[in-house]
Structure 1
């Protein structure tokens, strides 16, 4: 009687563990890329333009307006970013 109940307990636990989807190791995102890039719906990435934060007195207003806009990744840069940010890309 004891053996029967114990085997049933083991069998139910075994069925539960094998029915679960195997979890592979989680991939780590590159923390420097996380801080600088955001994913866009079409599969590319977007970042802020450089040279916008300081020494702005010598820059024209048109130049500062251009520097406000984001910059998109392209080509091989996008493939590298998909490896660096595996959960950021759709």
Structure 2
């Protein structure tokens, strides 16, 4: 049995981690097939993700690869959002969001 307490919808996680300005923008990113979770294309915004999952997506003209470290409980300030992931490839997270 999988513990779902440390899992969150991918669209909500992208919004809380400040990669998308709003939930509808995050839904469009995922629904458009522009995101991979652990190397597999995801098109459902309700897909659950959690710590250890690796996300790959394009933002601001470059591909970002990151590992989820935690699921947030709210959309907090950028400093708090930066603790939710580890950037493996791509630009620094302090640039503007999608």
Same fold (TM over 0.5): no
Task: Give the structure, 1 or 2, with the largest relative contact order (CA under 8 Å, sep 6 or more).
Answer: 1
Larger radius of gyration: 1
* Greater fraction helix: 1
* Greater fraction strand: 2
Short-chain TM bin? under 0.3
